[in-house]
Amino acid sequence: MNAGTVSMLDLGDLDPTGDRPDDQGRVDNITDWCLDQFRSRYQDPAISKDDIWAYIYGVMHAPDWRTRYANDLRKGLPRISYADDFWSFAQAGQELIDLHVGYETGEPYPHVRVLVDGQPADPDRDSPDAYRIDRPMRWAKTRDEDGKLADDPTVLVVNDRCRIEDIPPEAHGYVVNGKSPLRWAIDRLRITRDKTSGISRDPNRWHVWADRPYNLIEHLCRLITVSVETVRIVDGLPPSLPPDDPHPAG
C-alpha cells in the first residue's frame, strides 16, 4: 500500500503486557500462512499483508458477500472468499479503511446547504448559539403521497435556527449496526442527564466544538461524505463470490 494510508495490522498497543515480538513494534493480524495462501492462490508474490487486510475489508463490504454470509455473521466469524479480482478489492478496501478511520479529518460534504435563519450559514458572522444543540436533532417534515406528515431525510433540523438541506439519498445508504452514521449522530448527540447522579451530558461542551460550535455542522457533513463515498466505492465493486469457487478462503 502507498505511504500515508491507514494500516490496521498492528495490535501491539492492545497487548496488556506491553510486550512486542519484534523490533518493528507491530503484531500482525495476518499470519505468514495466510500470506502464503494468498500469494499462491493469485500467483502474485507482490501481495503484502497490508494488501490482504485491505482486500478483506473490501470483500466484507461487497453486497453479494454480505447477502451470502448474513446468517453466518450472526453466529460466528466471517468467511472470506477468494474473489477473481484481488487487486480491485484491495484497492477499494484501502479506500474504505482510509475513509472510515480518518473521517474526522475528511472533507465535509460540499453539496449540502447549511442555513441559519433561512440564509446561508456564515460561522464568522453568525452567533455561536446558531449551531448549538438545544434539543434532539430531527428530520424536517413533509407530506407524503397520501397527504400525511412524514420525515424528510433530505433536511436535518439541527435546532430552530439551523438546518442542513439537500442531503443526498446516499447519505442513508451506508448502514452500520442498523443505522447510517448520520442517524447515529442524531440519536447520540443530544443533551441528557443521568437520573441517579444528576450529571448532564452536553455535546455542546465537548472540546471538539465547544470553542467553535460550527465544528458540529462540519462533523455532520463529514458523516454525509463517509456514507456517500462508501456507497460510491461499494457500488463499483466486482463480484466477490466467483461461481467456480464454492470454498471460501477461511
Mean pLDDT of 77-81: 81
Could you tell me the pTM of the whole model? 0.84
Nearest to 135 by CA among 191, 182, 193: 191
| Residue-by-residue DSSP string for 99-155 | HHHTGGGSPPPTTSEEEETTEE--TTTS-GGGG--SS--EEEEEE-TTS-EEEEEEE
CA distance 137 to 118: 17
CA angle 119, 122, 127 (to 5 degrees): 95
In contact, 189 and 245? CB cutoff 8 Å: no
Gap between the Cα atoms of 128 and 137, Å rounded: 17
**Contact criterion met (CB below 8 Å) for 74 and 178:** no
Name the band, by pLDDT with cuts 50, 70 and 90, for residue 62. very high
- Please write the tens of the pLDDT for every residue from 102-158: 999 999 999 999 999 999 999 999 999 999 999 999 999 998 888 889 999 999 999
**18 — phi, psi (to 5°)?**
80, 0
Band of residue 245 on the pLDDT scale cut at 50, 70, 90: low
Tens of pLDDT, residues 20-47: 445 555 667 889 999 999 999 999 999 9
Residue 6: is its pLDDT beyond 50? no
pLDDT, average across residues 1-15: 44
**CA pair distance 201, 190, nearest whole angstrom:** 8
% of residues, the chain, pLDDT over 90: 63
Q: Which residue has the cell 449496526?
A: 177
What is the predicted pLDDT for the residue at 75?
A: 77
CA-CA distance, 52 to 247, in Å (whole number)? Answer: 18
To the nearest whole number, what is the mean pLDDT of the chain? Answer: 86
